[in-house]
Amino acid sequence: MPEPCLFGYWRSSAAYRVRIALNLKRITTRQIPVHLQAAEQKGADYRMLNPAGLVPLWREPDGFTLAQSLAIIEYLNEKFPDPPLLPEDVRLKAICREIVYTIACDIHPVGNLRVLEKLTADYGADAGARAAWNQHWIAAGFAAIEARLAKAAGRHAIGDRISLADICLVPQVYNARRMGFDLTLYPCIVSADAAARNLPAFMAAAPEAQADAP
């Protein structure tokens, strides 16, 4: 039986999220690399599959596609409910989504490759300026998440069970470290990240574990 496909890039934090979710759900997929640095996401063939020209892209054998990481993960969570990726308690579920949206809506979009390329093209931002830009927005988002985790975290971001908050947090912390961001002021984030990264599902999803990693 044909497998669904995940189009992604080894260092894309959005694709990283989906890989973690797939591993937690034990869903077998065909991984198809889309090399962002080589602008493969802008090619006509890929744009036919995903007009947004972004990764990840989820494609099932019957042609059904989804092109946003959170939409993909929530779809998979409903289609394959075990293990659940959201807390059962309605308030904890809302807190989980608050953390997720802080990452996916406030931090990640402004540090996306196409935004950084625009900063360089229009304003001459060099590598140092791009890193400083990223660090500024990471700090703003991480301050809010750290305050939330100080109240909600247990072994993981929300209590003692892995949730969608961890799935989004770990890739963002990976990005923060790659940008040289100082995590000293965020002990709760560091702790939650370390606990999750030690799990097999997270280890197998890590950028350096991907076949297309250099």
pLDDT digits 0-9 by tens, 122-177? 999 999 999 999 999 999 999 999 999 999 889 999 999 999 999 999 999 999 99
Q: How far is CA 134 from CA 19, 71, 187, in A?
A: 23, 24, 20
> What span, in angstroms and rounded, lies between the C-alpha atoms of 141 and 135?
10
Average of per-residue pLDDT values in the chain: 96
What are the sequence ranges of the domains in the chain?
5-83, 90-201
Tokens of residue 43, six digits: 């090619």
Q: What is the pLDDT of residues 77-90, one digit of tens each?
A: 999 999 999 999 99
E strand or H helix at 33: strand 30-33
Tell me the pTM: 0.95
Fold of 90-201: Glutathione S-transferase Yfyf (Class Pi); Chain A, domain 2 (1.20.1050)
The CATH superfamily assigned to 5-83 is Glutaredoxin (3.40.30.10)
Task: Kindly give, in sequence order, each residue whose CB lies less than 8 Å from that of residue 76, ignoring residues fewer than 6 positions away.
Answer: 21, 22, 25, 27
Nearest C-alpha neighbor of 172 from the set 197, 199, 209, 204: 197
pLDDT digits (tens, 9 = 90+) for 3-44: 999 999 999 999 999 999 999 999 999 999 999 988 899 999
Tokens encoding 144: 């809010």
Banded pLDDT at 1 (limits 50, 70, 90): low
- Kindly report, residue by residue over 33-55, the tens digit of the pLDDT: 999 988 899 999 999 999 999 99
